[in-house]
Structure 1
Amino acid sequence: MVLVPRARWQVDAASAVFAVVACLGLGASGQPDWYWSAAMAATLVVRRTLPWVFAVAVMGISCAHLLIDDRLLFPGDLLLLVAVYTLASHASARTRHGGLVTGGVYVGVLLLQIVIDDGMQDFPRSFSPAALVIAGMIAAWAVGLLERHRRDALTEAERGRVLAERDAEARTRVAAYEERERMSNDIHDVLAHTLTGIIVQAESGRAVSAEDEPRELFTRISETGRAALREVRGLLAADENPDTQPSPGIEDVDDLLEGFEHAGLDVQRADRGVRADLMPGMALAIYRVIQESLTNALRHGSGQTASLTLDWEPEALTVTVVNAVEHDVDLSAATNRRGLSGIRRRSALYEGRAEIRADDEFAVVTVWPLASPTLREAS
C-alpha cells in the first residue's frame, strides 16, 4: 500500500510516540541510558518524510553516546539499522550516497573507539561487535533496496495499466469514429441519392402537369425534399465544420408547422410567458422533439388537428403537443415507440423530463430547464 506524505507522517509520528513510551518503560525498569534511546526514538517522526535528517540524527546521537559512554546503546542502536533501511528504500539517489558516507563515518568511529579502548593486540577479539553492526547494516541496506525495487515495480505496473486503459479507450474512440464515418457515407449515399431522385421526379411532374393543383403539390414535394436534403447534408457534415453548419431551433418552428400544414395537419400554436435564449444544442433538441411529436400526430392521430404549446417560465420551458387518437389504437404500445424513446433521451440529455400521456388524447409533454443545465454524459 502506497501512503501519501501526510499519512506517512502520521504513521511515523505514531511509531515515534510508541517507541519513546517503550524507552520510558525500560527506564522505569532500571535500564541504563534509556534517555539516549528515547532521544533516538523521537527522530522516527521524520523517518520517511525527511529520511536524510532521520539518518543523520540517529547516527549522530549513537556516535555521541559511543564516545561518551564507550559502549553500544541498546535498544537505541537498533535504529541504526532502521535508518540504513530507510535511506535505501525511501531516499533519493544523492541522499543514499550521502547515507553511505555517513554509515562509513559511524563505522570508522566505532573501530577507532575499539582501538582506543583495547589496542591493536586485542582488536580481533574486540572486533566482533563491530562486525555484527556492519553485517546488520549491509543486510538492512539490501532489504531496503529490495523494498524500493518492489515498490518501483508496482508503480510501473500501475502506470502500464493506466496507459493500457488509455490506449484501449483511444482505440475504441478511433474505431467508433471510423464506424460513424462509414455510416455517414452510407446514409449520405442512400438518403441524398433517394431525395435527389424524389426532387427530380417532383420537378418533372410539375413541368408536365397542366393543372394548378397538381403543380402546387409537386412544388411542395420538391421544396420539402430540398429542405430535407439540406438538413441531411448539414447533419452529416456537422463533425467536419461544426461552426458553419446551421442547425434548426425555436425560430424555425413556424416553418416546420407550415410544412405539416401542407401535409394536411392543422397545428394550433400557443406561446406563453417571456421567451428566453437557449443553448444551440437544447434548441435543436426541442425542435426535434416537436418534429417527432407532430409526425406521430400526422401518422397515428385520428383528426386533422394538433396543438403545440410553449410555456416559458423563469426556470423551465414546457413544450406540449396534443392530438386526438382513435379509440381502437393500442396506446400502451404507442408510448414505447422508438421515436418516443428518442424524445425521452433528448430530454434527459439536458436534465429535462418527458411525460407521455395516452388517454382520450395523445400528449407529449417535455420540460427543459433553463438555468444552465449540465450536459450529462450519455452512457
Structure 2
Amino acid sequence: MTSNLERYAERHARAADVVMAAVLCALTVFGARISTAESSPPENVWPARILAVVCGAAVLKSRSHPRAALVVTAAATAVMTGLDYLPSPLLLAPVIAALYWLAALTDSRTTAIYGYPTMAVLVATSLSAAPLGDNIMLRSAGTVLWLLLALALGGMSRFRRAYLESVQARASHAERTREEEARLRVAEERMRIARELHDAVAHHMAVANAQAGTAAHLATTHPEQARKILTDLVGTTSSALLELSATVSVLRETGDPEAGLLEPTPGLGRLPELVAGCESAGLTVTVTTEGRVRPLSPGVDLTAYRIIQEALTNATKHASDHAARVRLSYSDSRLLITVTNEGTAVTPSVPGGGYGLMGMRERAHSVGGDLRAGPRPEGGFEVATALPLQPRTQAEALAERQEENR
C-alpha cells in the first residue's frame, strides 16, 4: 500500500503537495492548543492560525524552492514559539516537512548550512519565551530530535534516489554494451561470410577461367590434353558450387534438412587438391614442409588453407613465370606459411592491397596471427604469415581490442 501511495504521489505531485499543505496547516493549528502541566497556551489563537496558513503556503513550494520554504516556515514557527506556543511535533510539522525536502533535494553542504541554524534559532526562541526549567527538555532536546529526524529521513531519501539512478544508469550502460556487442558480432559475421564467399568464388573462378582459356588454346592442336583440362574444369566448378553452398549454409535456419548435405570445412588436408587444381590451370606449385607436422585447431586450419588458396589464386592470375612455391614451417607454437613466385606479380591498386589481401590479413588477425604481402627485393611476390597452432581465446581478443582502442 505504501508503494502505491508513493507512485500516486509521484504521478500527481501537485495534488499531493496541496493535500500535505492542508494537513500541515491543520496540524499546526491543533498543535497551538497543546499544553503541559507546566505551561498553558496563549489565549489568542489567531496568530497561530495566520502563521499556520503561511507555513502551509510555503510548504507548497518545497519541491521547487526548498531553501525559501524552509526559511519561511522556520521564521513563522520561530514567531509562534516566541509567543510561548509549545514546540510540540504538531507545531513543528511544517518545519519538519521543509527540512525533509531540503535534505532530499539538495546536497549535504546546503542541508548543513540551512538545517543546523534553523534548529538553533527555534531552540533559542522557544527557550527565551518560557521561564528557565519550564519544559526545558521538550523545548530544547525534543525540538532538536524532531528536526534531526527530518534531516535523516530526507538524507535517506536522497541516497535512495541516487542509488536507483545509478542502478538505472548501469542497466542502461549494460543494455548499450549488449547492443554494441551484438552489432559488433553481426559485423564480424558479415565480414566472415564475405571472406568465405570471396575465397570460395574468386579462387575457383580464376582457376576455371585459366583452365577454360588453356583448353580453348589446345583444342585444335592437342585435343586429348584439352579434353583432360575440360574434365578438370568440371571438378573445379563442382568444388566452387559445393564451397559456395557450404558458405551460404550459415544463413540457413537450424534444422534445415539440406544443411547436413554440405561438404566439410576445408583445411590443409585438402592442400593436394588445391595444388592439383592450380596445376591444371597452368601454375606449377611446389610444396615443402619443415619441422614436425602438428595438429591445428579447425579455425587455424581453415585460415591456413584460405591464405594459401588466395595466394595461389593471385599467382595464377599475375605470376609471369606460372610457378609458385609453398613452404610450411612448423615450430612448437606456430606455423609459418610462405607462398612465393619468381615472376613479376601485379599488385592490386587498392591502398593496402585488394580485397583478397585484406581478407588474408583479417583471417590471420582473427586467430591471433600476422601476415605480410608484397614484392620481394630479388623479384617476384611473397605472402608470409605466422599462425598460432591454437587460436587466441576470447579474453585475449577482447584485451587486444581494448589495447587498440586506447
TM-score by length of 1: 0.53
Residue equivalent to 1:364: 383
Is the 1:308–1:320 contact (alpha carbons within 8 Å) kept by the matching residues of 2?
yes
Q: 1:314 to 1:124 in 2, by over 3 A?
A: closer
Q: 1:334 to 1:307 in 2, by over 3 A?
A: farther
Residue equivalent to 1:338: 355
Is the 1:335–1:358 contact (alpha carbons within 8 Å) kept by the matching residues of 2?
no
Q: How does 1:216-227 map to 2 (within 5 A)?
A: 216-227=228-239
Residue 325 of structure 2, aligned match among 303, 307, 317: 307
**CA offsets 1:46-89 (integer angstroms, 9 cap, x no match):** xxxxxxxxxxxxxxxxxxxxxxxxxxxxxxxxxxxxxxx9xx99
Q: 1:126 to 1:264 in 2, by over 3 A?
A: closer
Q: 1:353 to 1:125 in 2, by over 3 A?
A: closer
Is the 1:312–1:318 contact (alpha carbons within 8 Å) kept by the matching residues of 2?
yes
Which amino acid is the alignment partner of residue 147 of structure 1?
R
Residue equivalent to 2:151: 140
TM-score by length of 2: 0.50
Is the 2:348–2:354 contact (alpha carbons within 8 Å) kept by the matching residues of 1?
no
Structure 2: runs of 5+ lacking an equivalent: 1-99, 105-131, 402-406
**CA offsets 1:99-119 (integer angstroms, 9 cap, x no match):** xxxxxxxxxxxxxxxxxxxxx
Is the 1:237–1:245 contact (alpha carbons within 8 Å) kept by the matching residues of 2?
no
Runs of 4+ in 1 over 4 A off after TM superposition: 173-177, 239-245, 329-335
Q: 1:162 to 1:281 in 2, by over 3 A?
A: same
Q: Which has the higher contact order (CA 8 A, sep 6+)?
A: 2
| TM superposition shift of 1:127 | 2.4
Q: 1:229 to 1:320 in 2, by over 3 A?
A: same
> What percent of counterpart residues are identical?
27
Q: Distance in 2 between matches of 1:171 and 1:351?
A: 22
| TM superposition shift of 1:228 | 0.7
Is the 1:311–1:319 contact (alpha carbons within 8 Å) kept by the matching residues of 2?
yes
| TM superposition shift of 1:331 | 8.5
Q: 1:176 to 1:251 in 2, by over 3 A?
A: closer
Is the 1:238–1:245 contact (alpha carbons within 8 Å) kept by the matching residues of 2?
no
Is the 2:308–2:339 contact (alpha carbons within 8 Å) kept by the matching residues of 1?
yes
3-state SS of paired residue (2:342): strand
3-state SS of paired residue (2:323): strand
Q: Aligned-pair RMSD on alpha carbons?
A: 4.3
Which amino acid is the alignment partner of residue 310 of structure 1?
L
Q: Distance in 2 between matches of 1:283 and 1:160?
A: 40
Which amino acid is the alignment partner of residue 179 of structure 2?
A
Question: Number of residue pairs matched?
Answer: 245
Is the 1:317–1:367 contact (alpha carbons within 8 Å) kept by the matching residues of 2?
yes
Q: Distance in 1 between matches of 2:145 and 2:179?
A: 51
Residue equivalent to 2:135: 124
Is the 2:341–2:382 contact (alpha carbons within 8 Å) kept by the matching residues of 1?
yes
Which amino acid is the alignment partner of residue 381 of structure 2?
F
| TM superposition shift of 1:174 | 9.3
2:308 equivalent to 1:297: no
2:370 equivalent to 1:349: no
Residue equivalent to 2:336: 318
| TM superposition shift of 1:219 | 1.8
**CA offsets 1:339-359 (integer angstroms, 9 cap, x no match):** 122222222222222232433
Is the 1:272–1:311 contact (alpha carbons within 8 Å) kept by the matching residues of 2?
yes
3-state SS of paired residue (2:340): strand
Q: How does 1:1-379 map to 2 (within 5 A)?
A: 124-166=135-177, 168-169=179-180, 172=183, 212-238=224-250, 240=252, 246-326=264-344, 329=346, 336-356=353-373, 357-359=375-377, 360-370=379-389, 373-374=392-393, 376=397
Q: Distance in 2 between matches of 1:341 and 1:311?
A: 23
| TM superposition shift of 1:125 | 4.5
Q: Distance in 1 between matches of 2:347 and 2:263?
A: 40
3-state SS of paired residue (2:287): strand
Is the 1:302–1:326 contact (alpha carbons within 8 Å) kept by the matching residues of 2?
yes
3-state SS of paired residue (2:246): helix
| TM superposition shift of 1:281 | 0.6
Is the 2:242–2:263 contact (alpha carbons within 8 Å) kept by the matching residues of 1?
no
Is the 2:300–2:391 contact (alpha carbons within 8 Å) kept by the matching residues of 1?
no
Q: Distance in 2 between matches of 1:170 and 1:343?
A: 24
3-state SS of paired residue (2:242): helix
